[in-house]
Amino acid sequence: INVGISVSRVGGSAQIKSMKKVAGTLKLDQALYREMEAFSKFGGDLDAATKLVIDKGARNVEILKQPQYSPVPVEKQVAIIYLGTQGLIRDVPVRRVKEFEEQLLMELENKHPEVLAEFKKGGFSDDAVKKLTEVSNSLIPQFK
């Protein structure tokens, strides 16, 4: 999410359609994660739903990290944010999320550049999402 163009007076109208589609619930998901994470520090047993929120939020934090002065192209952001917000990387340990992301993006660039090209243009077709999910699912077992 590019905070520089996501100011209140501009809002989502400055983002491409594919980013709007995948990042729609991200802000709410992360707010819920922060709340649940803070609550969990007080101890006690957590129910399964709370654990899922915390696990998903921790992975989303990892996918949002990027090195300083190394912007990630929007089409790559769309791909990884989609997987995170949909909970499709829940089987990747948090400590290996960045490694998974690098491998996924390399695989998409080398073998399925049409998926990234579509995301870059703002598209988000069922075929592109299906291919992204297939590539992701094929890589996840390597990271368990």
11 in the Ramachandran plot: left (φ > 0), alpha (ψ -120 to 50) or beta? Answer: left
Do the beta carbons of residue 119 and residue 71 sit within 8 Å?
Answer: no
**Catalytic member of 9, 34, 59, 90:** 9
Token duo for residue 14: 């400055």
Measure Cα distances from 61 to 98, 111, 122 in Å: 10, 27, 24
Q: What is the 3-state secondary structure (H, E, C) of 83-118?
A: HHHCCCCCCCCHHHHHHHHHHHHHHHHHHCHHHHHH
Active site residue 9: yes
Token duo for residue 144: 């368990």
**Furthest C-alpha separation in the chain:** 48
Q: Which residues are catalytic?
A: 9
